[in-house]
Amino acid sequence: MLGRSIAIACLVGACSGDETRAKPEAPDMAELVNAYASPSRNFDEATAIEVKNLVDRKVRALADMDAIVAAVDTAMAALGEEPVMSVAGTSSRNLVLEGEGTAHIERICSGHGVPAPPVNKEANGYLDLTVGYTQEGLDPVVFGGATNCHEQVGAAELSIEGAINLYIGESLTIDKLGTSPILFQLDGFALDSGTTRVVDGGFDFQVCRGTESNCVENNFEVLLGLSTGTLVFFVDLGTKTGGFRGANGRWSCDFAASRCTNTAGDVVMTPMYDL
C-alpha cells in the first residue's frame, strides 16, 4: 500500500491567485535533461562491452524504483484531487492552481508490515514535494525529498531517505501528469531493501510515458557515463526488452541473443547483460 495520508498547502501565492510573492528557486536540472535528450557517445561493440557493469548495476537498482515512482505519482495526483489543508482543518473545496505560486505536498509513507501500520508521520516517515505553477501550467522542476520514509512493497521493506528532484516538462498541466515522462534526480540518497543498500549517493532515471518524447513508452531509462561521452539505456523491466540511445541513433536489442540493431539494419553484438 503506497498511499496513506496526503496534505496540500499553498506556500507562496494564494491557490486562488489572490496573492503573488517570490517563489523558492527550484534546482537547475538543465544539464541532466540535455544529457538524456542528446547522448554523446556512439553505440558500437566496444561501447557495448564497456557499459556492461554499469547496465547490470543500474538495472538492479531500477527494480526497486517502482516504489519511489508510485509514491511520487500518488502525491502529484493529489494536486487535482485533494482538498486544501488549513490550520483550521480541511476545506471542502478542491485545490485550484490559479495565478502564480507554489504548492507544497506532504505524503505520509505507508510504513513496514502487513497489514499496514496506523498512519504515523513520525514512525513511517514522509515524502514532501514543492510544486511551482503559473497560469500556463506547472513549473518544469518539482523538488523535495523523502525523510525516514518506510514503504512495504510485497514482501520487501524499503527505507528511503534523501533529496528528490523531478523534471516534468515545460508548462505541463495537471491532467497530463500521468501521461508524460518524468526525469528523477536523486541526490544524497539512500534506498535500502531490507538490509541491502540499493542506492547510496546519487542516482537518476527517467520514467517513459506517452508518445511525445524520444523515450520508449513504459520503459525506464538510465544515463550511462562512460570514459568518454554518455549513452542512454532503456528497458522494460517486465518483458526484459530494451536497448540503447546514442549519438548514432536508437538501437533495439534482443538481449537473449546479445544482438542490437538500428533502423538501418546495422548490427552490434553485445555481452550478456544481467537483467
Q: Is residue 84 part of a domain?
A: yes
Q: Is residue 79 part of a domain?
A: yes
Q: Can you give the pLDDT at residue 216?
A: 83
Q: Residue 180: which domain range?
A: 5-16+28-40+62-223
Q: Can you give the pLDDT at residue 222?
A: 97
With bands split at pLDDT 50, 70 and 90, how would you rate the model's confidence at 178?
confident
Q: With a threshold of 0.85, does the pTM exceed it?
A: yes
Give the residue among 189, 197, 206 at the shortest CA–CA distance from 145: 189
What are the CA-CA distances from residue 249 to residues 40, 245, 262 (Å)? 10, 6, 7
Report the pLDDT averaged over residues 98-111.
86
Tens-digit pLDDT profile for residues 199-209: 999 999 999 98
Give the residue among 191, 184, 234, 187 at the shortest CA–CA distance from 206: 184
Q: Is residue 230 part of a domain?
A: no
Q: Can you give the pLDDT at residue 271?
A: 97
**What region, left, alpha or beta, does residue 57 occupy, with left being phi > 0 and alpha being psi -120 to 50 degrees?**
alpha
If one counts the domains in the chain, the total is 1
Q: Can you give the pLDDT at residue 89?
A: 44
Q: Is residue 165 part of a domain?
A: yes
Q: Is residue 160 part of a domain?
A: yes
Q: Is residue 241 part of a domain?
A: no
Q: Is residue 214 part of a domain?
A: yes
Q: Is residue 249 part of a domain?
A: no
